[in-house]
DNA sequence: CCGGATCCAGTATGATACTG
DNA sequence: CAGTATCATACTGGATCCGG
């Protein structure tokens, strides 16, 4: 999630918003868009090769490489290297990786139920703003 | 989450990883770290002023301003402007904003249960990598 | 003073080219 | 095929300025 932004966050004050500290930590780890999507994809297909993931997600080679390395480091993903020619590298979820799918599904359901509403709100807001701009920019009646 | 990365993502192929497309969309909207934290914070306290949020989250003025504008646009947050001196602007969640707390809580619980495990995995991985580097960098026995 | 808007510098991301 | 290196660009945070 654009949850990107892995390092920059200042430490939160302990006394404030107790939940935020915890949430903030988890988001720092597995909260970016690509991590989430890789986990979903592996949860759905079991085992995938590097380029299969790349094609599935429309992610750049660079980010996929970085994301997988992070996920392996965090113990969410297993990496299996087959030293054949051409090489073959397979990825699948660890148990912890699998368990991560549950909270993500919750997010998915919420998404399904609310995306339409968000789009409506967004259009309404944009229209309102546009009208305000039009109004302040040409207070006088149009010249015709 | 770092889900940041709001615009750059190429559209996903429809035929691949059906869930990913939906998840990807929601993450593009409310998936970045600050949006999530602002919603949590408002869910916890009900109504907060601009600088209260700023202090709670350790977010920069700039990002808070942008994040709140987005959340208002998406219909998750209400903004109330009191034209006093000094000005006073209050924010609280809409119904949709409130409903967003549920999936986020799921994430929070998962976090609570798994953060420690992640840290362990991370340390183990780092140590392994360090040893490999040490090995390849100085194949000979240390000079003592 | 508060809530922002603006400008600037550092970081993260994507596209492309290259290697084993 | 599975990455790594490089460069251009987008985004983020910090400092500064401003209207009320």
Nearest chain A Cα to B118, which residue? Answer: A74
Residue A73 CB lies within 7 Å of the nucleic strand D: no
Identify the residue with better confidence: B81 or A131: B81
B1 near A CB under 8 A? yes
Nearest CA of chain A to the CA of B139: how many Å? 23
Sign of CA dihedral B136, B140, B141, B144: negative
In this predicted structure, the answer to whether residue A18 has a pLDDT above a threshold of 50 is: yes
- How large is the average pLDDT for residues A27-54? 90
- How large is the average pLDDT for residues A18-44? 82
Distances from the Cα of A127 to the Cαs of A104, A122, A132, B43, B105, in angstroms?
33, 9, 9, 28, 33
- Cα-flanking dihedrals φ and ψ of residue B24, to 5°? -60, -40
Nucleotide C14, nearest residue via CA and C1': A60
Query: What is the pLDDT, as a whole number, of residue A140?
Result: 44
B19 interaction partners in chain A (CB closer than 8 Å):
40, 44, 108
Query: What is the pLDDT, as a whole number, of residue B29?
Result: 75
Q: Strands, E, within chain A: which ranges?
A: 2-3, 47-49, 77-82, 88-93
Query: What is the pLDDT, as a whole number, of residue B3?
Result: 43
A19 interaction partners in chain B (CB closer than 8 Å):
40, 44, 108
A115 near B CB under 8 A? yes
Query: What is the pLDDT, as a whole number, of residue B12?
Result: 57
In this predicted structure, the answer to whether residue A64 has a pLDDT above a threshold of 80 is: yes
Identify the residue with better confidence: A31 or B57: B57
Query: What is the pLDDT, as a whole number, of residue B13?
Result: 55
Query: What is the pLDDT, as a whole number, of residue B72?
Result: 96
Residues A45 and B19 sit within 8 Å (Cβ to Cβ): no
For residue A78, give the 3-state DSSP assignment: strand
Domains of chain A by start residue, with CATH: 19-136 (1.10.10.10)
Identify the residue with better confidence: B95 or A143: B95
Identify the residue with better confidence: B129 or A102: A102
Distance B82 CA to D11 C1' (A): 31
Query: What is the pLDDT, as a whole number, of residue A141?
Result: 47
How many CA within 13 A on the CB side of residue B34? 23
| Residue B87: nearest nucleotide (C-alpha to C1') | C2
pTM: 0.83
Residue segments in chain B with a per-residue pLDDT below the cut of 50:
1-10, 138-140, 142, 144
Distance B49 CA to D19 C1' (A): 19
Q: Encode pLDDT of B104-139 as tens digits.
A: 888 888 888 898 999 999 999 998 887 776 655 544
Query: What is the pLDDT, as a whole number, of residue A31?
Result: 79
Identify the residue with better confidence: A137 or A28: A28
Q: A29-33, A72-76, A97-101, B18-22: lowest mean pLDDT where?
A: B18-22
What radius of gyration do chain A's Cα atoms show? Answer: 22
- How large is the average pLDDT for residues A76-99? 97
A63 near B CB under 8 A? no
Distance A8 CA to D13 C1' (A): 8
Least CB–CB distance from A108: residue in B22, B32, B37: B22
Distances from the Cα of B65 to the Cαs of A127, B8, B59, in angstroms?
20, 21, 10
Distance CA B122, CA A29 (A): 11
Residue A8 CB lies within 7 Å of the nucleic strand D: yes
Query: What is the pLDDT, as a whole number, of residue B22?
Result: 74
With a CB cutoff of 8 Å and minimum separation 6, the contacts of A126 are B73
Query: What is the pLDDT, as a whole number, of residue A5?
Result: 43
Least CB–CB distance from A20: residue in B26, B57, B125: B57
* CA nearest neighbour of B96 among B111, B80, B78, B84: B78
| pLDDT bracket for residue A139 (50, 70, 90) | very low
Distance CA B62, CA B56 (A): 15
Report which listed range, A41-55, A99-113, B10-24, is most confident.
Answer: A41-55
Q: Strands, E, within chain B: which ranges?
A: 2-3, 47-49, 77-82, 88-93
Residues B71 and B38 sit within 8 Å (Cβ to Cβ): yes
For residue A108, give the 3-state DSSP assignment: helix
- How large is the average pLDDT for residues A16-24? 72
B82 near A CB under 8 A? no
């Amino acid at each position: 999630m654009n949850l990107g932004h892995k390092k920059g966050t200042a430490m939160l004050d302990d006394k404030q918003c107790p939940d935020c500290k915890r949430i903030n930590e988890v988001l720092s780890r597995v909260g970016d868009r690509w991590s989430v999507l890789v986990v979903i994809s592996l949860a759905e297909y079991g085992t995938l090769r590097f380029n299969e993931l790349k094609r599935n997600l429309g992610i750049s080679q660079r980010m996929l490489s970085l994301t997988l390395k992070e996920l392996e480091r965090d113990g969410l993903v297993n990496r299996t290297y087959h030293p054949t020619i051409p090489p073959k590298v397979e990825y699948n979820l660890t148990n912890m990786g699998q368990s991560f799918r549950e909270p993500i599904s919750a997010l998915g359901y919420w998404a399904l139920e609310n995306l339409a509403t968000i789009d409506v709100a967004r259009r309404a807001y944009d229209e309102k703003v546009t009208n305000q701009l039009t109004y302040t920019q040409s207070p006088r009646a149009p010249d015709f």
